[in-house]
Structure formats: C-alpha cells, structure tokens
C-alpha cells in the first residue's frame, strides 16, 4: 500500500469562506463513498471486522496487510474508525489506513466489487439508451437472429 504523509496546516486562518468550503467538502464526502461505523478485532480469526450503518460488515484477515500484521494484540483492539468512516486509525502509532485501500488489496473482494458495479450499471437507463430503444422500436425492434445452417 502507498503511504501518504499528512500535511500540517496550523497557520491557515479559519475564515467564514474556508469554513463554508470545509463543510461543503464534508457533505460531499459523506454522500459519496463508503462510511464504516465500527471496527472490531476477531481474535479467533485474527481478523478485523469493519461494520457499516446497515449492519453489513467485511472481515479482513490481519495477516494479509503488512501495516496491520505488525500491530500487537492490544493495538489491534484499539483500532478505531476515523476520517468520516473512510479509514482505520491508531493514534498511538499515528496510523491511518484507508478502508477502501484495504478492500482493494484483496483480489476476491475487488472481483466482487467489479461484478456488483457491472450489475448496477447494466440496469441503468440513460436518456440516450431510452431514445435509442424507442427509435429501434419504431423500426420494428431488434432484428431476429437468423439460424446458421
């Protein structure tokens, strides 16, 4: 995984405009993307269970992620959700790991995500698709496939 160093902006003045922009960024961030509500260490499985508001969860084996595998048992139990539900955090180590990054590092989870996006996109109807369908209907619809002998 890629490590990103946090930027410290202690000298940036907080004006009404900066505050309004930050609130709007927060609103957009909340409506787009994943937002975990909790993280629990499952000692029997040596895995982290990341849960979401709808009571769904994903279980991630600690051994699959070097940044998590290096943590002690007590540290794994102290992980928390931060950054608006988008990261797992451990303040003692200044560790912030993207949940989306953890999921994307798992090939089976990514294959499932790609499949789900394909299903969702296949069912969508754009205005252009609807218009093309109507035009084809006026012409008698889709031509029948001819049997090859």
Residue 69 vs residues 2, 25, 101: alpha-carbon distances, Å: 16, 33, 15
Q: What is the mean pLDDT of residues 117-124?
A: 78
Average pLDDT score, the chain: 85
The model's confidence at residue 42, banded by pLDDT at 50, 70 and 90, is: very high
Q: Is the pLDDT of residue 37 over 70?
A: yes
Q: Is the pLDDT of residue 96 over 90?
A: yes
The phi, psi pair for 54, rounded to 5°, reads -90, 15
The model's confidence at residue 84, banded by pLDDT at 50, 70 and 90, is: confident
Residue partners of 37: CB distance under 8 A and separation at least 6: 51, 52, 53, 81, 85
Instruction: State percent of the chain over pLDDT 90.
Output: 41
Residue 134 vs residues 38, 123, 144: alpha-carbon distances, Å: 47, 17, 17
pTM of the model: 0.61
Q: What is the mean pLDDT of residues 44-68?
A: 93
The model's confidence at residue 53, banded by pLDDT at 50, 70 and 90, is: confident
Task: Among 29-43, 57-71, 106-120, name the most confident range.
Answer: 57-71
Q: How far apart are CA 45 and CA 76, in angstroms?
A: 13
- The larger pLDDT score, comparing residue 123 to residue 109, is at 109
The model's confidence at residue 46, banded by pLDDT at 50, 70 and 90, is: very high
Q: Is the pLDDT of residue 7 over 80?
A: no
The full set of domains in the chain, from first to last, is 35-105 (3.30.2020.40), 107-137 (no CATH)
Q: Is the pLDDT of residue 122 over 60?
A: yes
Q: How far apart are CA 131 and CA 139, in angstroms?
A: 13
């Amino acid at each position: 995984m890629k490590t990103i160093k946090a930027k410290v902006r202690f000298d940036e003045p907080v004006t009404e405009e900066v505050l309004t922009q930050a609130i709007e960024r927060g609103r957009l961030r909340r409506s787009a993307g994943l937002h975990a509500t909790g993280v629990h260490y499952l000692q029997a499985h040596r895995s982290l269970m990341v849960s979401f508001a709808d009571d769904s969860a994903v279980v991630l084996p600690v051994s699959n992620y070097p940044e998590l595998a290096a943590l002690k048992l007590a540290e794994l139990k102290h992980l928390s959700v931060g950054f608006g539900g988008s990261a797992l955090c451990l303040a003692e180590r200044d560790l912030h790991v993207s949940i989306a990054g953890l999921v994307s590092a798992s090939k089976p989870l990514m294959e499932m995500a790609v499949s789900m996006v394909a299903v969702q996109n296949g069912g969508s109807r754009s205005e252009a698709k609807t218009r093309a369908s109507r035009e084809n209907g006026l012409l008698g619809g889709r031509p029948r496939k001819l049997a090859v002998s």
